[in-house]
Amino acid sequence: MTATATPPPSGATEQPLSASVTAVVGLLILFEVTSGFLQVGLAPLLPDLADHLGIGSAALNWVVSVQLLAAAVCVPLFGRLGDLYGHRRMLRVALALIAVGTLVVALAPDYATLLAGRVLQGPIAALLPLEIALVRDRLPVADARRAIARLVGALTLGAMAGGVVMGLVDTAFGNLRLTLLVPAVLAVICVPVSFVAVPESRIRAGGRVDWAGVVLLSGAMVALLGGVSGAEGGSWGSARVLGPLVLGLALLAVWVLVELRSSEPLVDVRALAARTTAPFYCASFLFGVFYFGSQAPNSTFYAADPEATGYGFGLSALSISLVLLPGALGSVVGSLGTAAVAKRIGYRPTLMAAFGLVALTFLQFALLHDEIWQMAAGSAFTGLGIGLALGAMPTVIVEASDPSRSGISAALYNNVKTLGGAVAGGVFASLLGAFLVESTGEPGEGGYEALWLVASAAALIALAATAFSRRREG
Protein backbone atom coordinates (compact mmCIF):
# COMPACT_ATOMS: atom_id res chain seq x y z
CA MET A 1 0.00 0.00 0.00
CA THR A 2 1.29 3.42 -0.92
CA ALA A 3 0.57 6.80 0.55
CA THR A 4 0.54 9.86 -1.64
CA ALA A 5 0.55 13.51 -0.71
CA THR A 6 -2.39 14.90 -2.63
CA PRO A 7 -3.73 18.45 -2.68
CA PRO A 8 -6.62 18.98 -0.34
CA PRO A 9 -10.06 19.19 -1.91
CA SER A 10 -11.32 22.49 -3.13
CA GLY A 11 -12.10 24.82 -0.30
CA ALA A 12 -9.58 23.32 2.10
CA THR A 13 -7.50 25.73 4.11
CA GLU A 14 -3.82 25.43 3.20
CA GLN A 15 -1.55 25.25 6.23
CA PRO A 16 2.20 24.65 6.34
CA LEU A 17 3.43 21.85 8.55
CA SER A 18 4.82 24.47 10.92
CA ALA A 19 1.41 26.03 11.50
CA SER A 20 0.54 26.75 15.12
CA VAL A 21 -1.42 24.25 17.11
CA THR A 22 -4.29 26.70 17.53
CA ALA A 23 -4.58 27.35 13.79
CA VAL A 24 -4.89 23.65 12.99
CA VAL A 25 -6.98 22.56 15.96
CA GLY A 26 -9.36 25.52 15.77
CA LEU A 27 -12.96 24.40 15.74
CA LEU A 28 -12.03 20.78 16.37
CA ILE A 29 -12.10 21.73 20.04
CA LEU A 30 -15.81 22.56 19.73
CA PHE A 31 -16.50 19.12 18.29
CA GLU A 32 -14.71 17.43 21.19
CA VAL A 33 -16.57 19.53 23.76
CA THR A 34 -19.79 18.39 22.10
CA SER A 35 -18.57 14.80 22.04
CA GLY A 36 -17.84 14.85 25.76
CA PHE A 37 -21.18 16.54 26.45
CA LEU A 38 -23.06 13.81 24.59
CA GLN A 39 -21.08 10.89 25.98
CA VAL A 40 -21.40 11.79 29.66
CA GLY A 41 -24.47 14.03 29.72
CA LEU A 42 -26.80 11.04 29.58
CA ALA A 43 -25.25 9.31 32.63
CA PRO A 44 -27.09 11.21 35.41
CA LEU A 45 -30.36 10.83 33.48
CA LEU A 46 -30.20 7.04 33.16
CA PRO A 47 -32.28 6.29 36.30
CA ASP A 48 -34.95 8.79 35.16
CA LEU A 49 -34.82 7.35 31.64
CA ALA A 50 -35.46 3.87 33.00
CA ASP A 51 -38.48 5.13 34.95
CA HIS A 52 -39.76 7.10 31.95
CA LEU A 53 -39.62 4.10 29.62
CA GLY A 54 -40.60 1.56 32.24
CA ILE A 55 -37.52 -0.59 31.61
CA GLY A 56 -35.33 -2.67 33.90
CA SER A 57 -31.58 -2.89 34.28
CA ALA A 58 -31.11 -5.21 31.27
CA ALA A 59 -32.93 -2.85 28.93
CA LEU A 60 -31.16 0.17 30.44
CA ASN A 61 -27.86 -1.58 29.82
CA TRP A 62 -28.75 -1.84 26.12
CA VAL A 63 -29.26 1.93 25.95
CA VAL A 64 -25.56 2.23 26.78
CA SER A 65 -24.25 -0.91 25.09
CA VAL A 66 -25.96 -0.49 21.72
CA GLN A 67 -24.21 2.85 21.21
CA LEU A 68 -20.87 1.30 22.16
CA LEU A 69 -21.54 -1.56 19.75
CA ALA A 70 -22.26 0.85 16.91
CA ALA A 71 -19.17 2.84 17.84
CA ALA A 72 -16.99 -0.26 17.77
CA VAL A 73 -18.02 -0.81 14.14
CA CYS A 74 -17.98 2.84 13.07
CA VAL A 75 -14.54 3.68 14.43
CA PRO A 76 -12.41 1.47 12.13
CA LEU A 77 -14.70 2.13 9.19
CA PHE A 78 -14.54 5.91 9.52
CA GLY A 79 -10.82 5.74 10.22
CA ARG A 80 -10.17 3.81 7.01
CA LEU A 81 -12.49 6.05 4.97
CA GLY A 82 -10.65 9.05 6.41
CA ASP A 83 -7.30 7.62 5.34
CA LEU A 84 -8.67 7.08 1.82
CA TYR A 85 -10.85 10.13 1.20
CA GLY A 86 -9.85 12.73 3.79
CA HIS A 87 -10.31 12.97 7.53
CA ARG A 88 -12.17 16.28 7.39
CA ARG A 89 -14.68 14.86 4.92
CA MET A 90 -15.46 11.88 7.14
CA LEU A 91 -15.55 14.16 10.18
CA ARG A 92 -18.41 16.04 8.54
CA VAL A 93 -20.28 12.81 7.76
CA ALA A 94 -19.83 11.63 11.35
CA LEU A 95 -21.10 14.93 12.77
CA ALA A 96 -24.19 14.79 10.55
CA LEU A 97 -25.06 11.25 11.67
CA ILE A 98 -24.50 12.16 15.31
CA ALA A 99 -26.81 15.17 14.99
CA VAL A 100 -29.58 13.03 13.48
CA GLY A 101 -29.12 10.35 16.12
CA THR A 102 -29.21 12.84 18.99
CA LEU A 103 -32.44 14.34 17.66
CA VAL A 104 -33.97 10.87 17.36
CA VAL A 105 -33.00 10.10 20.98
CA ALA A 106 -34.57 13.35 22.18
CA LEU A 107 -37.82 12.85 20.27
CA ALA A 108 -38.10 9.05 20.51
CA PRO A 109 -41.68 7.98 21.33
CA ASP A 110 -40.66 4.48 22.43
CA TYR A 111 -37.78 2.27 23.47
CA ALA A 112 -37.07 0.84 19.99
CA THR A 113 -36.78 4.30 18.44
CA LEU A 114 -34.49 5.37 21.27
CA LEU A 115 -32.18 2.45 20.50
CA ALA A 116 -32.17 3.39 16.81
CA GLY A 117 -31.08 6.89 17.74
CA ARG A 118 -28.31 5.52 19.93
CA VAL A 119 -27.06 3.45 17.00
CA LEU A 120 -26.90 6.59 14.86
CA GLN A 121 -24.76 8.17 17.59
CA GLY A 122 -22.15 5.46 17.04
CA PRO A 123 -19.78 7.66 14.97
CA ILE A 124 -19.21 9.87 18.03
CA ALA A 125 -16.30 7.60 18.96
CA ALA A 126 -14.76 8.20 15.52
CA LEU A 127 -14.44 11.96 16.01
CA LEU A 128 -11.26 11.93 18.09
CA PRO A 129 -9.40 9.41 15.86
CA LEU A 130 -10.26 11.47 12.78
CA GLU A 131 -9.08 14.64 14.50
CA ILE A 132 -5.89 13.00 15.74
CA ALA A 133 -5.08 11.81 12.22
CA LEU A 134 -5.79 15.30 10.90
CA VAL A 135 -3.48 17.13 13.30
CA ARG A 136 -0.82 14.44 12.86
CA ASP A 137 -0.92 15.18 9.14
CA ARG A 138 -0.80 18.97 9.56
CA LEU A 139 1.67 19.37 12.44
CA PRO A 140 5.15 18.18 13.46
CA VAL A 141 5.38 15.64 16.28
CA ALA A 142 5.84 18.07 19.19
CA ASP A 143 2.97 20.32 18.11
CA ALA A 144 0.78 17.32 17.31
CA ARG A 145 1.28 16.06 20.85
CA ARG A 146 0.11 19.36 22.30
CA ALA A 147 -2.84 19.44 19.90
CA ILE A 148 -3.92 15.94 20.91
CA ALA A 149 -3.70 16.92 24.58
CA ARG A 150 -5.90 19.97 23.90
CA LEU A 151 -8.47 17.87 22.07
CA VAL A 152 -8.62 15.34 24.89
CA GLY A 153 -8.88 18.22 27.36
CA ALA A 154 -11.81 19.60 25.38
CA LEU A 155 -13.43 16.16 25.45
CA THR A 156 -13.18 15.96 29.22
CA LEU A 157 -14.30 19.58 29.61
CA GLY A 158 -17.41 18.77 27.59
CA ALA A 159 -18.00 15.71 29.73
CA MET A 160 -17.76 17.83 32.86
CA ALA A 161 -20.20 20.40 31.51
CA GLY A 162 -22.55 17.78 30.10
CA GLY A 163 -23.43 16.12 33.37
CA VAL A 164 -23.99 19.38 35.26
CA VAL A 165 -25.92 21.15 32.50
CA MET A 166 -28.18 18.16 31.86
CA GLY A 167 -28.84 17.83 35.58
CA LEU A 168 -29.65 21.54 35.89
CA VAL A 169 -32.02 21.51 32.91
CA ASP A 170 -33.76 18.39 34.19
CA THR A 171 -34.21 19.96 37.63
CA ALA A 172 -35.38 23.31 36.25
CA PHE A 173 -37.95 21.98 33.78
CA GLY A 174 -38.68 18.46 34.97
CA ASN A 175 -39.12 17.38 31.36
CA LEU A 176 -36.87 14.57 30.13
CA ARG A 177 -37.53 15.24 26.44
CA LEU A 178 -36.69 18.93 26.77
CA THR A 179 -33.52 18.02 28.63
CA LEU A 180 -32.46 15.63 25.86
CA LEU A 181 -32.97 18.38 23.26
CA VAL A 182 -30.08 20.38 24.77
CA PRO A 183 -27.32 18.11 23.40
CA ALA A 184 -29.32 17.71 20.19
CA VAL A 185 -29.13 21.45 19.52
CA LEU A 186 -25.40 21.44 20.23
CA ALA A 187 -24.85 18.51 17.87
CA VAL A 188 -26.83 20.17 15.08
CA ILE A 189 -24.77 23.38 15.40
CA CYS A 190 -21.54 21.43 14.85
CA VAL A 191 -22.58 20.32 11.35
CA PRO A 192 -22.47 23.72 9.57
CA VAL A 193 -19.51 24.78 11.73
CA SER A 194 -17.48 21.90 10.27
CA PHE A 195 -17.64 23.63 6.87
CA VAL A 196 -16.08 26.88 8.15
CA ALA A 197 -12.35 26.64 8.85
CA VAL A 198 -11.37 23.02 9.42
CA PRO A 199 -8.30 22.08 7.32
CA GLU A 200 -8.20 18.85 5.33
CA SER A 201 -5.48 16.23 5.72
CA ARG A 202 -3.10 15.99 2.76
CA ILE A 203 -1.77 12.43 2.90
CA ARG A 204 -3.97 9.81 1.23
CA ALA A 205 -3.64 6.06 1.51
CA GLY A 206 -4.12 3.93 -1.57
CA GLY A 207 -6.49 0.97 -1.87
CA ARG A 208 -10.10 0.38 -0.92
CA VAL A 209 -12.38 -0.32 2.02
CA ASP A 210 -12.45 -3.90 3.26
CA TRP A 211 -16.23 -4.29 3.27
CA ALA A 212 -16.04 -8.02 3.99
CA GLY A 213 -14.08 -7.16 7.11
CA VAL A 214 -16.69 -4.56 8.09
CA VAL A 215 -19.56 -7.06 7.77
CA LEU A 216 -17.76 -9.85 9.63
CA LEU A 217 -16.59 -7.55 12.42
CA SER A 218 -20.09 -6.09 12.79
CA GLY A 219 -21.68 -9.55 12.95
CA ALA A 220 -19.13 -10.80 15.47
CA MET A 221 -19.65 -7.83 17.77
CA VAL A 222 -23.45 -8.06 17.59
CA ALA A 223 -23.35 -11.77 18.42
CA LEU A 224 -20.82 -11.43 21.23
CA LEU A 225 -22.62 -8.53 22.88
CA GLY A 226 -25.96 -10.30 22.47
CA GLY A 227 -24.59 -13.36 24.21
CA VAL A 228 -22.99 -11.43 27.05
CA SER A 229 -26.11 -9.30 27.58
CA GLY A 230 -28.27 -12.44 27.66
CA ALA A 231 -26.42 -13.61 30.77
CA GLU A 232 -27.77 -10.85 33.01
CA GLY A 233 -29.42 -13.33 35.31
CA GLY A 234 -26.24 -15.35 35.67
CA SER A 235 -27.40 -18.04 33.18
CA TRP A 236 -24.08 -18.36 31.33
CA GLY A 237 -24.75 -22.00 30.44
CA SER A 238 -28.06 -21.35 28.65
CA ALA A 239 -28.51 -21.68 24.89
CA ARG A 240 -29.43 -18.01 24.53
CA VAL A 241 -26.01 -17.12 25.90
CA LEU A 242 -23.78 -19.86 24.51
CA GLY A 243 -25.32 -19.77 21.02
CA PRO A 244 -24.53 -16.11 20.27
CA LEU A 245 -21.14 -16.36 21.99
CA VAL A 246 -20.09 -19.36 19.89
CA LEU A 247 -21.38 -17.66 16.74
CA GLY A 248 -19.56 -14.45 17.64
CA LEU A 249 -16.28 -16.24 18.28
CA ALA A 250 -16.63 -18.15 15.00
CA LEU A 251 -17.27 -14.94 13.06
CA LEU A 252 -14.35 -13.30 14.84
CA ALA A 253 -12.07 -16.17 13.81
CA VAL A 254 -13.22 -15.89 10.19
CA TRP A 255 -12.70 -12.14 10.34
CA VAL A 256 -9.11 -12.60 11.51
CA LEU A 257 -8.42 -14.99 8.62
CA VAL A 258 -9.97 -12.58 6.12
CA GLU A 259 -7.94 -9.67 7.49
CA LEU A 260 -4.70 -11.67 7.36
CA ARG A 261 -5.29 -12.60 3.73
CA SER A 262 -6.53 -9.20 2.58
CA SER A 263 -4.14 -6.85 0.81
CA GLU A 264 -6.16 -3.90 2.16
CA PRO A 265 -7.45 -5.05 5.57
CA LEU A 266 -9.83 -2.97 7.64
CA VAL A 267 -7.60 -3.71 10.64
CA ASP A 268 -3.95 -4.65 10.44
CA VAL A 269 -4.20 -7.72 12.65
CA ARG A 270 -0.45 -8.32 12.47
CA ALA A 271 0.20 -4.81 13.78
CA LEU A 272 -2.44 -5.38 16.45
CA ALA A 273 -0.54 -8.45 17.64
CA ALA A 274 2.95 -6.93 17.31
CA ARG A 275 5.12 -7.00 20.42
CA THR A 276 5.42 -3.22 20.48
CA THR A 277 1.70 -2.48 20.17
CA ALA A 278 -0.21 -5.51 21.49
CA PRO A 279 0.24 -4.59 25.18
CA PHE A 280 -1.18 -1.12 24.55
CA TYR A 281 -4.20 -2.52 22.71
CA CYS A 282 -4.74 -4.97 25.57
CA ALA A 283 -4.58 -2.03 27.97
CA SER A 284 -7.02 -0.13 25.73
CA PHE A 285 -9.58 -2.95 25.97
CA LEU A 286 -9.28 -3.04 29.75
CA PHE A 287 -9.45 0.76 29.82
CA GLY A 288 -12.84 0.51 28.13
CA VAL A 289 -13.97 -2.08 30.66
CA PHE A 290 -13.60 0.21 33.68
CA TYR A 291 -14.16 3.53 31.87
CA PHE A 292 -17.41 2.80 30.02
CA GLY A 293 -18.59 -0.21 31.97
CA SER A 294 -18.83 1.58 35.32
CA GLN A 295 -20.83 4.62 34.18
CA ALA A 296 -24.37 3.21 34.28
CA PRO A 297 -23.88 1.14 37.48
CA ASN A 298 -22.41 4.11 39.32
CA SER A 299 -25.41 6.26 38.38
CA THR A 300 -27.92 3.63 39.52
CA PHE A 301 -25.98 3.21 42.79
CA TYR A 302 -26.21 6.94 43.48
CA ALA A 303 -29.94 6.95 42.67
CA ALA A 304 -30.78 3.87 44.76
CA ASP A 305 -33.08 4.48 47.74
CA PRO A 306 -31.10 3.51 50.86
CA GLU A 307 -34.28 2.78 52.84
CA ALA A 308 -35.37 0.20 50.26
CA THR A 309 -32.04 -1.28 49.20
CA GLY A 310 -29.70 -0.66 52.15
CA TYR A 311 -27.26 1.29 49.98
CA GLY A 312 -27.14 4.33 47.74
CA PHE A 313 -28.16 7.92 48.37
CA GLY A 314 -31.48 8.44 46.56
CA LEU A 315 -30.01 11.26 44.47
CA SER A 316 -31.74 13.22 41.70
CA ALA A 317 -30.20 13.72 38.25
CA LEU A 318 -28.71 17.06 39.31
CA SER A 319 -27.27 15.63 42.52
CA ILE A 320 -25.77 12.71 40.59
CA SER A 321 -24.13 15.12 38.16
CA LEU A 322 -22.64 17.08 41.08
CA VAL A 323 -21.21 13.92 42.64
CA LEU A 324 -19.71 13.05 39.25
CA LEU A 325 -18.30 16.57 38.85
CA PRO A 326 -15.03 15.98 40.78
CA GLY A 327 -14.31 13.07 38.46
CA ALA A 328 -14.88 15.25 35.41
CA LEU A 329 -12.63 17.96 36.86
CA GLY A 330 -9.96 15.37 37.55
CA SER A 331 -10.19 14.17 33.95
CA VAL A 332 -9.69 17.71 32.65
CA VAL A 333 -6.64 18.22 34.87
CA GLY A 334 -5.22 14.84 33.91
CA SER A 335 -5.71 15.18 30.17
CA LEU A 336 -4.37 18.73 30.02
CA GLY A 337 -1.42 17.80 32.19
CA THR A 338 -0.49 14.66 30.25
CA ALA A 339 2.12 16.32 28.05
CA ALA A 340 3.85 17.97 31.03
CA VAL A 341 3.91 14.75 33.04
CA ALA A 342 5.08 12.68 30.08
CA LYS A 343 7.83 15.19 29.33
CA ARG A 344 9.30 14.44 32.73
CA ILE A 345 8.79 10.69 33.03
CA GLY A 346 7.78 9.47 29.54
CA TYR A 347 4.45 8.32 28.14
CA ARG A 348 4.68 4.67 29.25
CA PRO A 349 5.34 5.54 32.92
CA THR A 350 2.52 8.08 32.70
CA LEU A 351 0.14 5.33 31.58
CA MET A 352 1.34 3.05 34.35
CA ALA A 353 0.76 5.75 36.97
CA ALA A 354 -2.70 6.46 35.54
CA PHE A 355 -3.81 2.84 35.64
CA GLY A 356 -2.37 2.37 39.13
CA LEU A 357 -4.32 5.37 40.41
CA VAL A 358 -7.55 4.09 38.86
CA ALA A 359 -7.03 0.62 40.37
CA LEU A 360 -6.62 2.11 43.85
CA THR A 361 -9.73 4.29 43.61
CA PHE A 362 -11.98 1.46 42.41
CA LEU A 363 -10.68 -0.58 45.33
CA GLN A 364 -11.61 2.33 47.58
CA PHE A 365 -15.14 2.35 46.08
CA ALA A 366 -15.52 -1.33 46.99
CA LEU A 367 -14.37 -0.77 50.57
CA LEU A 368 -15.69 2.74 51.35
CA HIS A 369 -18.99 3.82 49.79
CA ASP A 370 -21.30 4.65 52.71
CA GLU A 371 -20.82 8.43 52.50
CA ILE A 372 -21.21 10.72 49.50
CA TRP A 373 -17.91 12.47 50.20
CA GLN A 374 -16.09 9.14 49.96
CA MET A 375 -17.51 8.52 46.49
CA ALA A 376 -16.88 12.10 45.35
CA ALA A 377 -13.27 12.05 46.54
CA GLY A 378 -12.63 8.69 44.92
CA SER A 379 -14.26 9.94 41.74
CA ALA A 380 -11.82 12.86 41.58
CA PHE A 381 -8.80 10.55 41.64
CA THR A 382 -10.42 8.14 39.20
CA GLY A 383 -11.00 11.05 36.83
CA LEU A 384 -7.39 12.17 37.19
CA GLY A 385 -6.15 8.72 36.23
CA ILE A 386 -8.58 8.42 33.34
CA GLY A 387 -7.61 11.88 32.06
CA LEU A 388 -3.92 10.96 32.06
CA ALA A 389 -4.65 7.72 30.24
CA LEU A 390 -6.90 9.42 27.69
CA GLY A 391 -4.18 11.94 26.94
CA ALA A 392 -1.28 9.48 26.73
CA MET A 393 -2.72 6.41 25.02
CA PRO A 394 -3.56 7.93 21.59
CA THR A 395 -0.10 9.48 21.30
CA VAL A 396 1.59 6.20 22.18
CA ILE A 397 -0.30 4.23 19.56
CA VAL A 398 -0.40 6.78 16.74
CA GLU A 399 3.33 7.49 16.92
CA ALA A 400 4.00 3.77 16.46
CA SER A 401 2.00 3.68 13.22
CA ASP A 402 2.74 4.56 9.61
CA PRO A 403 1.55 8.14 8.85
CA SER A 404 -0.66 6.90 5.99
CA ARG A 405 -2.45 4.58 8.46
CA SER A 406 -2.68 7.03 11.34
CA GLY A 407 -6.44 7.28 11.04
CA ILE A 408 -7.06 3.55 11.27
CA SER A 409 -4.43 3.16 14.01
CA ALA A 410 -6.06 5.79 16.20
CA ALA A 411 -9.43 4.34 15.26
CA LEU A 412 -8.34 0.85 16.29
CA TYR A 413 -7.39 2.16 19.74
CA ASN A 414 -10.84 3.66 20.19
CA ASN A 415 -12.43 0.57 18.68
CA VAL A 416 -10.71 -1.78 21.13
CA LYS A 417 -11.51 0.55 24.03
CA THR A 418 -15.15 0.80 22.97
CA LEU A 419 -15.40 -2.97 22.55
CA GLY A 420 -14.13 -3.31 26.11
CA GLY A 421 -16.92 -1.02 27.27
CA ALA A 422 -19.56 -2.91 25.28
CA VAL A 423 -18.45 -6.25 26.70
CA ALA A 424 -18.24 -4.79 30.20
CA GLY A 425 -21.80 -3.53 29.93
CA GLY A 426 -23.12 -7.06 29.50
CA VAL A 427 -20.74 -8.62 32.01
CA PHE A 428 -21.48 -6.02 34.68
CA ALA A 429 -25.23 -6.36 34.11
CA SER A 430 -24.87 -10.12 34.54
CA LEU A 431 -22.79 -9.58 37.66
CA LEU A 432 -25.39 -7.30 39.23
CA GLY A 433 -28.12 -9.74 38.21
CA ALA A 434 -26.35 -12.51 40.11
CA PHE A 435 -26.78 -10.45 43.30
CA LEU A 436 -30.46 -9.63 42.70
CA VAL A 437 -32.55 -9.35 45.87
CA GLU A 438 -36.02 -10.81 45.32
CA SER A 439 -37.75 -8.61 47.89
CA THR A 440 -36.63 -5.37 46.23
CA GLY A 441 -36.03 -6.46 42.64
CA GLU A 442 -32.73 -4.57 42.79
CA PRO A 443 -29.12 -5.79 42.94
CA GLY A 444 -27.67 -6.24 46.41
CA GLU A 445 -24.83 -4.10 47.70
CA GLY A 446 -22.43 -7.00 47.14
CA GLY A 447 -23.06 -6.77 43.40
CA TYR A 448 -21.68 -3.25 43.24
CA GLU A 449 -18.74 -4.18 45.45
CA ALA A 450 -17.90 -7.09 43.14
CA LEU A 451 -18.24 -4.81 40.11
CA TRP A 452 -15.79 -2.27 41.52
CA LEU A 453 -13.32 -5.03 42.38
CA VAL A 454 -13.49 -6.29 38.78
CA ALA A 455 -12.87 -2.73 37.54
CA SER A 456 -9.89 -2.43 39.88
CA ALA A 457 -8.49 -5.72 38.60
CA ALA A 458 -8.93 -4.55 35.00
CA ALA A 459 -6.90 -1.41 35.75
CA LEU A 460 -4.17 -3.47 37.42
CA ILE A 461 -3.90 -5.80 34.43
CA ALA A 462 -3.75 -2.76 32.14
CA LEU A 463 -0.88 -1.46 34.26
CA ALA A 464 0.93 -4.79 33.90
CA ALA A 465 0.38 -4.84 30.13
CA THR A 466 1.80 -1.34 29.85
CA ALA A 467 4.79 -2.27 32.00
CA PHE A 468 5.65 -5.16 29.67
CA SER A 469 5.36 -3.04 26.53
CA ARG A 470 8.29 -1.97 24.44
CA ARG A 471 8.12 1.48 22.93
CA ARG A 472 10.68 4.06 22.00
CA GLU A 473 9.73 7.54 23.10
CA GLY A 474 9.54 9.85 20.11
**CATH number assigned to the domain comprising residue 173:** 1.20.1250.20
CB atoms within 10 A of CB 360: 16
**Angular region, 315: left φ>0, alpha ψ -120 to 50, beta rest:** beta
164 and 69 in a common domain: yes
325 and 381 in a common domain: yes
Domain residues for the domain of 388 are 20-197+266-467
What pLDDT is attached to residue 239?
A: 80
365 and 230 in a common domain: no
Taking only the tens place, the pLDDT of each residue in 379-436 is 999 999 999 998 888 777 776 666 666 656 666 777 788 888 878 877 887 788 778 7
30 and 49 in a common domain: yes
What are 4's strand-pairing partners?
204
Does residue 37 sit within a domain? yes
Residues of the chain below pLDDT 50:
1-19, 472-474
Does residue 6 sit within a domain? no
Q: What is the DSSP letter of 43?
A: G
303 and 171 in a common domain: yes
253 and 284 in a common domain: no
Does residue 4 sit within a domain? no
Does residue 472 sit within a domain? no
- Last residue within a domain, chosen from 265, 295, 311: 265
What pLDDT is attached to residue 23?
A: 59
What pLDDT is attached to residue 15?
A: 44
Distance CA 88, CA 74 (A): 16
Residue pair 113/101 in contact (Cβ under 8 Å)? The answer is: no
Provide the CB-side half-sphere exposure for 427 (13 A, CA). Answer: 21
Distance CA 322, CA 114 (A): 26
Number of domains into which the chain is organized: 2
Is the overall model pTM greater than 0.85, yes or no? no
